[in-house]
Amino acid sequence: MKDLTRTALGLALAGGLAGGAQAADEVTLQLKWVTQAQFAGYYVAEAKGFYDEADLDVTIRPGGPDIAPPQVIAGGGADVIVEWMPAALAARENGLPLVNIAQPFKSSGMMMTCWADTGIEAPEDLANRTLGVWFFGNEFPFLSWMAKLGIDTDGKSESGVEVLKQGFNVDPLLQRQADCISTMTYNEYWQVIDAGVSPEELVTFKYEDQGVATLEDGLWTLEENLEDPAFVDKMARFVDASMRGWKYAEENPDEAAMIVLENDATGAQTEKHQKRMMGEVAKLTAGSDGTLDPADYERTVETLLSGGSTPVITEHPGDGAWTHAVTDAALN
C-alpha cells in the first residue's frame, strides 16, 4: 500500500503541473466531542493554512453526546473520524471495518478523581466504594482496571464496587453521590477545581500509571477506502497537515486555544478553560508524529480483552485494525 501511495502521489503532482490549478480534495472529519482544545491540532491546521498547502478542503464537524463517530462514517457522513480505540475496535468486531490510520495522542488523559477525606489512598481502597463511570464504550478501561485489581463490578460481591453511570459532568462528586468519578486530565478534573475544590482535597489515579490505559483520539477510516491509492494519498496529506497543526499547537498553546474559541459556534467555552486544556492536551500528543506504536496497540487490546465478564472485544482483532501506509506516506 505504501508503494501505491507514492505512485498516486507522483501522478497527482504530475497532473497538477500539467493541468494547472485544480479543485482541492475534500475531506470531512468527524470529531468525537464538541469543539474544544482536545481537537486543537485540526483547527490550527485549518487556521494556519496547512490544509490549503496540502491541497485539501477540510470540513471539521463537532461531535456531542448524541453523535457517535462510527455511526457517522458508516452512514457516509465523514471520510475520517476521531475515536477512542475501545469504541473503534468494538465497532470493528460488530461488523464496521474501521482501521486506525494515525495516532496523534500518544498518552491517555483518563483518570479517577476521588475525595481524599474518604480515606482512599491507593487503588485497592476503591473496593466497597461508589464510583462514577462513563459508559458508551468509555467504561471498558475501568472494567479492565477493576478486573486487574480483583474488584467485582457487577454487584455480586460484598467487596465489590457500586458503579454509578456518570453523565458528562462532575455533579456526582460535587454532590457526594460518588466517592470517585471519571475525569480527563484536561477537562473534568479542572471543572472540579473550578467548582471551588482544592487539589489537596482530591486523590487522583491516572490510568496510564495503573497500566490499563487505552489509546484515545486516533484517526480512523473505513478499510475499503484504503484500497484506493488516491484516497490513501489524500489521507496522507491530511495526516501530515494535521500533525503540523498539532505540533504548532504544542509550541503555541495559548494561540491554539484562541483558534479553538474562534471555532466554537456555541460560545460555551471560556478562554481560561481552553488555555488550560490545551496545556494538558499538549502533554498527551507530545512525542507522537502520528504513527501508531504497535506496542501501544497491543497493550490496548490486552486491556480490552481483560475486562472481566464484559470485555469490549472477545477476540484479538489482529493487525488489520491498523495500518502504517498513511503515516509512512505522510512522513516520507
Q: What is the pLDDT along the chain (332 residues), one digit of tens a residue?
A: 434 444 444 444 444 444 445 789 999 999 999 999 999 999 999 999 999 999 999 999 999 988 999 999 999 999 999 999 999 999 999 999 999 999 999 999 999 999 999 999 999 999 999 999 988 767 878 988 898 898 988 766 777 899 999 998 999 999 999 999 999 999 999 999 999 999 999 999 999 999 889 999 999 999 999 999 999 999 999 999 999 999 999 999 999 999 999 999 999 999 999 999 999 999 999 999 999 999 999 999 988 888 666 667 889 999 999 999 999 999 88
Q: Please give the Cα distance from 70 to 98 (Å, whole number).
A: 8
- Predicted local confidence at residue 306, as pLDDT: 80
Structural domain count, the chain:
2
Closest among 309, 323, 308, 305 to 86, alpha carbons compared: 305
- Predicted local confidence at residue 119, as pLDDT: 96
- Predicted local confidence at residue 156, as pLDDT: 67
- Predicted local confidence at residue 13, as pLDDT: 43
The answer on 16 and 142 residing in a single domain is: no
The answer on 190 and 115 residing in a single domain is: yes
The label of the residue with cell 494519498 reads 233
> What nine digits make up the cell of 80?
475520517
- Residue that is last in its domain, among 190, 210, 230: 210
Distance of CA 129 to the CA centre of its chain: 28
The answer on 301 and 223 residing in a single domain is: yes
The answer on 148 and 163 residing in a single domain is: yes
The answer on 313 and 220 residing in a single domain is: yes
User: How does DSSP assign 192-245, residue by residue?
Assistant: HHHTT--GGGEEEEEHHHHT-----SEEEEEGGGGG-HHHHHHHHHHHHHHHHH
Q: Please give the Cα distance from 318 to 155 (Å, whole number).
A: 33
DSSP 112: E
- Predicted local confidence at residue 218, as pLDDT: 98
The answer on 228 and 151 residing in a single domain is: no
Domain encompassing residue 116: 110-210
Instruction: Check: CB of residue 213 under 8 Å from CB of residue 185.
Output: no
- Predicted local confidence at residue 309, as pLDDT: 60
- Predicted local confidence at residue 159, as pLDDT: 73
The label of the residue with cell 507522537 reads 288
